[in-house]
Amino acid sequence: MDMTIPVNLDSLLKQVTGFDEFRAGQEEVIRSVIRGRDTIAVLPTGAGKSLCYQLPVHALGGTVLIVSPLLSLMEDQVAQLKMQGEKRVAALNSFLAPKERAEVLANLGSYRFLFTSPEMLVQPHISKRIKQLRIAYIVADEAHCISQWGFDFRPDYLRMRDWLGNMEDRPPVLALTATASEKAIRDIADYLLMEQPELFIHTPDRPNIAMELIRLSGREEKTEWLLDHLSQWKGPGIIYVQSRKRAEELAGLLRSRQIVAAAFHAGMEGEDRILVQQQFLNGELEWICATNAFGMGINKPDIRWIVHDHLPSSAAQYIQEIGRSGRDGRQSLATLLYSEGDADTAAFIATDDLPEPETVHFIGKCVAEGMDIREAGERAGLSETALRVVSYWMDRLGTEQAAIQMDRLADTKREEIFSMVRFAEGAGCLRSRALGLFGYSPTVRPALCCSECGLDSSRILIGRTAARNSSGLLGWRERINSLFVVSGEE
């Protein structure tokens, strides 16, 4: 075990990565972790968050435990570390065959980087083994998931609080995320049991993403708009849709116009999803019509255009989704297609899977009579997710309070949607409004700002054929210039 803490972080950086300089925001986070402080870092997408958790362990020794929300994200990061020559890395997740899992568990102490999910982490036999390791620090990657998913979708995120609380000598925790509202930061600090965490918060403003809001009468007009504009202008891009059915419908319609598109949603087979992802990453697919199942951990730097066919269920969701464009720093566009009925649909879908208070009472009664909670859940017709959520809150609060909690969760979801409605129906610069939802303001006013600031999206988008491109020869130089608009340029 090497406990030498180098005075010079630059030489450690050079030695581990070959780079000479840190990117903005990285160094202070790394110093805080090395000093043993609980740390929350909100860094914009593309700022090099991974280095923040990868470097300190080289100074501290031991194992870094990284809790990650998605299998694809873990696999991606394991592959990335291996490519950098790191051999002591493993992911402990449900993807592993029993034999592979046994092997990882047998060698647990030998890893420098150990990735796992909250669900795996809180399993008693795994938890026991992990707690025997010499953990240098614990990392919550995409930490906004604690706030976004913990309460009504993946309660094992909230169970991490007890997990950490039961550790004899809890190592410091580092939370990393690209987007965090004040509430998310409070939830992160609370559920990761952080003690006076160091906060490093960088604005989520991405001046290279122009924003536009298009008001349309409803679904049919949206379909028309999409077919018309996507036949005229090129991607690559993602259309975010509300349902699996809509994803399939739009992908089919685009293909009928000779636009290479595919659907992506949680209802597809795992292999099909991987194939679609790969094709998109390789540039073989121009458009993905996706539900919110697509995106986190997808590292495609040249996505030029994100279109929302529906009203996202929260500001955090919206900012994350549009943030997937323009990671290469080049000019990109985010289009929100909005119609009045969108809020009702969004509210219905967001609360559809939340059990009613009466259902919680019914389950409570069944369990009191000696029935297994799983069976009670089946009788009540609950989905697996809903049952997970109900069991968590019943354990924690008892039946009465758990029933009340269901109403509270539904209210929170409706409030989040309402803040999106205020965003869509408000007045003034869209970028200011979007950032305002998180308590930020724009860092600069880019030349290509938003539809409220007089944006002409044809200055950003690339025409499918020269003949179809109405801006013609004169627009050519302008368009080339617009590709290189940098933040701060007026």
* Interface with Zn ion (CB under 5 A): 429, 431, 449-450, 453
**Least Å from the CB of residue 431 to Zn ion:** 5
Pairing of strands 113-116, 173-177: unpaired
Nearest to 425 by CA among 347, 342, 318, 345: 342
**Least Å from the CB of residue 482 to Zn ion:** 15
Q: List, in order, residues 6 or more apart from 423 with CB less than 8 Å away.
A: 315, 318, 430, 433, 434, 437
The answer to whether the bond into 442 is cis (omega within 30° of 0) is: no
Q: Which is nearer to Zn ion, 356 or 452 (CB)?
A: 452
CB 433 within 8 Å of CB 419: no
**Least Å from the CB of residue 334 to Zn ion:** 12
Query: How far apart are the C-alpha atoms of 111 and 82, rounded to whole Å?
Result: 12
Q: Which is nearer to Zn ion, 188 or 449 (CB)?
A: 449
**Least Å from the CB of residue 234 to Zn ion:** 24
Using N-to-C axis directions, what is the helix angle for 156-165 and 182-191, rounded to 10°? 50
Query: How far apart are the C-alpha atoms of 265 and 281, rounded to whole Å?
Result: 16
**Least Å from the CB of residue 455 to Zn ion:** 7
Q: List, in order, residues 6 or more apart from 378 with CB less than 8 Å away.
A: none
Query: How far apart are the C-alpha atoms of 194 and 147, rounded to whole Å?
Result: 15
Pairing of strands 261-264, 287-290: parallel
Q: Which is nearer to Zn ion, 167 or 453 (CB)?
A: 453
Q: Which is nearer to Zn ion, 51 or 460 (CB)?
A: 460
**Least Å from the CB of residue 419 to Zn ion:** 19
Query: How far apart are the C-alpha atoms of 127 and 396, rounded to whole Å?
Result: 20
Q: Which is nearer to Zn ion, 310 or 431 (CB)?
A: 431
Q: Which is nearer to Zn ion, 236 or 323 (CB)?
A: 323
Q: Which is nearer to Zn ion, 364 or 436 (CB)?
A: 436
**Least Å from the CB of residue 434 to Zn ion:** 9
Q: Which is nearer to Zn ion, 52 or 435 (CB)?
A: 435
Q: Which is nearer to Zn ion, 322 or 347 (CB)?
A: 322
**Least Å from the CB of residue 456 to Zn ion:** 13
**Least Å from the CB of residue 454 to Zn ion:** 8
Q: Which is nearer to Zn ion, 25 or 436 (CB)?
A: 436
Beta bridge partners of 63: 135
Query: Hey, how many other C-beta atoms are within 10 angstroms of the C-beta on 56?
Result: 27
CB 31 within 8 Å of CB 9: yes
Helices (H), 18-154: 26-34, 49-54, 56-60, 71-83, 98-106, 118-121, 124-131, 144-149
**Least Å from the CB of residue 16 to Zn ion:** 41
Query: Hey, how many other C-beta atoms are within 10 angstroms of the C-beta on 244?
Result: 18
Report residue 454 as tokens: 């007089």
